[in-house]
Amino acid sequence: MRFKYTGEKNNIKVNGIIDASDSNEASLILFDQGINLINLKEVGFIDEYLYKIKAFKTKTSKVKLEELIVLTRQFATLFDAGIPVVKILDRMSKQNFSEKLLTAILKIKEDVEAGLSLSAAFGRQKGIFSPLYINMLKVGEEGGVLDIVLSRLADILETDLETRNRIKHATRYPKLTVGAIAVAFSILVVFVIPKFVGLFNKFKAELPLPTKILIWINYFVQNYWWLIIFIIFSAIFAYKKYKSTEKGKVKIDLLVFKIPIIGPILHKIYISRITRILGLLYRSGIPVVSSFDIVSEVSGNEIIKKEIQNVKIRVSQGNNIAASFGYSEYFPEVVTDMIAAGEETGRLDEMLEKIADYYDEETDYAIKNLSTAIEPILLVLIAGMVILLALGVFLPMWDMIKVIK
């Protein structure tokens, strides 16, 4: 038999479905799990189905970046106030977060109580906390600056969120324009163009080439829609499979830099992230070679990761940091010049922060002008679709008048 239950565990409301021979056994199982039972009833088919849907949604859903920012900011504040980590996690588990994040916090709390380090406990929650998040926690624990690291981590996450929102805002107009054209194109191809086919067949006249193209598109979509879906899903699967390989990661991340308009923006974001984190690690007293290991793991791009590893090798061989960065084509001269100035003056951490601020401003400027940069490409695309639609609709109308005459 299956039973649906509602109860409380660690002052948190929980619910689910369990298997048991009867209600008494179900109550004992829940009691052993530390759940204070509120309600228990035998589950029906609909209840089980709805529970499975909810469980699937929880498993496949993503924790929002906004939630991670709130969690990190509150964690930093409470830790700075001297509250023990376990107590902080207990408080966080009672916040108004999503079910997936709350479940993860409870598991982290259990792991920390069992003796795991905070970074190791966070690292066990796959798909929720990024390598950047986990490595930053590790740095904070090792350097004894967890409060500072958490605060900086919240800043980094907020910057990422702002960047995403700015990109969404900048591309809103192009998305709406392309969407409207696509809808108009679909309506004409599905409902308008087929009408001309009947008329021209009736008069045994030849259709214009643009109209034939639109008719062929309509025929292909209606008769081979399954093939289109198969090709799309196959392409997505092949892409993910290829990206999971070492060679695929490198090739794809190399192509990212070559994407017009978007590539240079992402390049600036990578440089800003690397220099900001490197400055934080340097200020925290983490050895330079170890800092490069950490930074390479949180870079977000395989090409940049390899370049950082090469910089680490050169530094470990006795070269200064600026010269080591200078060998790489992915770090502009302004980066090496400012790092060199920081090394000479003994203020490397400040210079790294200034480099990050500089590239943040560059990124902000590029995103603000993103819509303007996309406009020429958008105009060409729209013009091509409008010309095809116009010729496909009006040419047969003109020809029909000639045929009737």
pLDDT at 193 over 80: no
Give domain status of residue 201, yes or no. no
Whole-angstrom distance, CA of residue 316 vs CA of residue 292: 11
Whole-angstrom distance, CA of residue 174 vs CA of residue 262: 14
Same-domain status, 286 and 308? yes
pLDDT tier at 203 (50, 70, 90 boundaries)?
A: low
pLDDT computed for residue 351 by the predictor: 92
pLDDT computed for residue 231 by the predictor: 93
Same-domain status, 100 and 129? yes
Around 109, how many Cα atoms within 13 Å sit in the side-chain half-sphere? 17
Q: Say which range, 266-270, 313-317, 383-387, has the weakest mean pLDDT.
A: 383-387
Assigned token pair, 28 = 């004992």
pLDDT tier at 341 (50, 70, 90 boundaries)?
A: very high
Which residues, listed in sequence order, are joined to residue 46 by a DSSP beta bridge? none
Same-domain status, 52 and 77? no
pLDDT at 405 over 60: no
Same-domain status, 41 and 110? no
pLDDT at 188 over 60: yes
pLDDT at 349 over 90: no
Of 336, 353, 368, the residue at which a domain comes to its end is 368
pLDDT computed for residue 179 by the predictor: 83
pLDDT computed for residue 401 by the predictor: 64
CATH code at position 138: 1.20.81.30
Give domain status of residue 360, yes or no. yes
Longest dimension (CA), the chain: 92
Helix, coil or strand: residue 4:
strand
* Cβ count within 10 A of residue 238: 11
- In angstroms, the first-to-last Cα distance of the chain is 80
Same-domain status, 73 and 135? yes
pLDDT tier at 403 (50, 70, 90 boundaries)?
A: low
pLDDT tier at 261 (50, 70, 90 boundaries)?
A: confident
Helix, coil or strand: residue 211:
helix
pLDDT at 56 over 70: no
Same-domain status, 266 and 363? yes
- Mean pLDDT in residue range 82-90: 89
Give domain status of residue 246, yes or no. no
- Mean pLDDT in residue range 261-265: 86
Domain count, the chain: 3
pLDDT computed for residue 130 by the predictor: 83
Give domain status of residue 405, yes or no. no
Which residues, listed in sequence order, are joined to residue 8 by a DSSP beta bridge? 13, 36
Whole-angstrom distance, CA of residue 305 vs CA of residue 325: 13
Whole-angstrom distance, CA of residue 221 vs CA of residue 88: 56
Give domain status of residue 333, yes or no. yes
Give domain status of residue 221, yes or no. no
Tens digit of each residue's pLDDT (9 = 90 or more) over 18-29: 777 777 777 777
Of 60, 75, 94, the residue at which a domain comes to its end is 60
pLDDT computed for residue 140 by the predictor: 80
Same-domain status, 51 and 124? no
By the 8 A CB rule, do 154 and 67 touch?
no
Tens digit of each residue's pLDDT (9 = 90 or more) over 284-306: 777 788 788 888 877 778 888 89
pLDDT tier at 59 (50, 70, 90 boundaries)?
A: low
Give domain status of residue 354, yes or no. yes
Same-domain status, 56 and 71? no
How does strand 2-9 pair with strand 36-42? Answer: antiparallel
pLDDT tier at 232 (50, 70, 90 boundaries)?
A: very high
Chain Cα centroid distance, residue 26: 41
Tens digit of each residue's pLDDT (9 = 90 or more) over 124-181: 888 888 877 888 888 788 777 788 888 888 888 888 888 888 878 877 877 888 888 8
Continuous H helices in 61-171: 65-80, 85-92, 99-113, 118-123, 131-143, 146-170
pLDDT computed for residue 10 by the predictor: 66
Tell me what the pLDDT averaged over the chain comes to: 81
- Mean pLDDT in residue range 331-338: 90
Give domain status of residue 132, yes or no. yes
Type of residue numbered 62: K
pLDDT at 389 over 80: no
pLDDT computed for residue 44 by the predictor: 64
By the 8 A CB rule, do 8 and 36 touch?
yes
pLDDT tier at 47 (50, 70, 90 boundaries)?
A: low
Same-domain status, 309 and 325? yes
pLDDT at 318 over 60: yes
Same-domain status, 44 and 79? no
pLDDT computed for residue 18 by the predictor: 73
For residue 87, the enclosing domain spans 65-158
Same-domain status, 103 and 47? no
Of 158, 188, 220, the residue at which a domain comes to its end is 158
pLDDT computed for residue 173 by the predictor: 79
